[in-house]
Amino acid sequence: MEHLEQVSACAQALSTRVAEVLRDGRVVVTIGGDHSIGVGSVDGHYKVNEDMILIWVDAHADINTNETSDSGSVHGMPVALLCRELSDYWPYLPTMDWQVPRFSIKNLGYIGLRSVDSYERLAIEKYNIPTFAMEDVDTHGIKSSVQHVLQQLDPRGEKPIHVSFDIDSLDALEAPSTGTPVRGGLTLREGINMMETIYATGRLRAVDLVEINPAIGTDTDRRHTIDAGLSILKAALGAPRRGTAPKGVLDLPKPTTA
């Protein structure tokens, strides 16, 4: 597992900080970095809201263990590190002592998948993880895909929501500056619609935005990718695309005579 010591130290500090912000009653936005930071942000969220549900929006499932990973990259493993049901599939990892996987895989759902390793698919089937891969998004549309996942994880609509948004869930043409781009993904409009739908529940407590890597691609690639990420965050925080009139103002300004 590459750079596990550094990844683990960073995730530990992040976990503490995320828990502080949530205890303060604020919504947490965590900007990565790669998706391994999800270990810290979800761990921190779980400490405050044990009933949280997690929506992993990604081209990849990020549920490899060190045994199943072909790459050895920790950013392909955060979900497997977090879930208590998978703890028996890990060897003892000395640098991860601080993290006890307590989050249940029953509270996890996926949207946007299209590059899933075979053992990752086995895990999804074994644990029956609510998953709207790209072909399911094609069939149902993005809004009802999100609503289905929310309905399956939390039929009564009362649990705090954590969205871990990997920019590579968007099509590689929309967000090219990322390490493991995959074509055939969500459009930016689908990403925005999804975030608006989740915001509208009033229960979004934490958002991760990860895998934006400005070192990759041209100036135009960088600009498109960062713009896309900002649009996703704005939607998650409730900015309406139709715009907002100035608060408490009822009329347009009249010309002032000089």
Ligand X SMILES: NC(=[NH2+])NCCC[C@H](N)C(=O)O
CB of 118 or CB of 256, closer to Mn ion: 118
| Burial group, residue 110, by CB count within 10 angstroms (0-12, 13-18, 19+) | buried
CB of 34 or CB of 136, closer to ligand X: 34
Residue in the structure block whose two tokens are 């000395």: 94
Question: Of Mn ion, ligand X, none, which one does residue 45 interact with (CB within 5 to 8 Å by kind)?
Answer: none
The distance of closest approach from Cβ of residue 116 to ligand X in the complex, given in angstroms and rounded to an integer, is 8
* 35 sits near Mn ion (criterion: CB under 5 A): yes
How many CB atoms lie under 10 A from the CB of residue 131? 21
Is 51 known as a binding-site position? no
Report the alpha-carbon distance of residue 254 to residue 1 in Å, rounded: 65
Of 5-13, 35-43, 199-207, 226-234, the window that binds Mn ion (rule: CB under 5 A) is 35-43
The b/e string for 30-65 (b: 16+ C-beta within 10 A; e otherwise) is bebbbbbbbbbbbbbbbbbbeebbbbbbbbbbbbbb
Which residues contact ligand X (rule: CB under 6 A)?
A: 34-35, 60, 62, 64, 69, 71, 73, 75-76, 117, 166, 168, 179-180, 211
In what helix (H) or strand (E) does residue 208 lie, and over which residues does it extend? strand 204-210
Among 163, 135, 218, 123, residue whose Cα is nearest residue 38:
163
The distance of closest approach from Cβ of residue 143 to ligand X in the complex, given in angstroms and rounded to an integer, is 25
* 166 sits near Mn ion (criterion: CB under 5 A): yes
Is 148 known as a binding-site position? no
Total residues interacting with Mn ion, rule: CB under 5 A:
4
Is 168 known as a binding-site position? yes
The distance of closest approach from Cβ of residue 239 to ligand X in the complex, given in angstroms and rounded to an integer, is 26
Among 254, 79, 31, 53, residue whose Cα is nearest residue 151:
53
Is 58 known as a binding-site position? yes
Q: Which residues are annotated as a binding site?
A: 35, 58, 60, 62, 166, 168
Q: Which residues are annotated as a binding site for Mn(2+)?
A: 35, 58, 60, 62, 166, 168
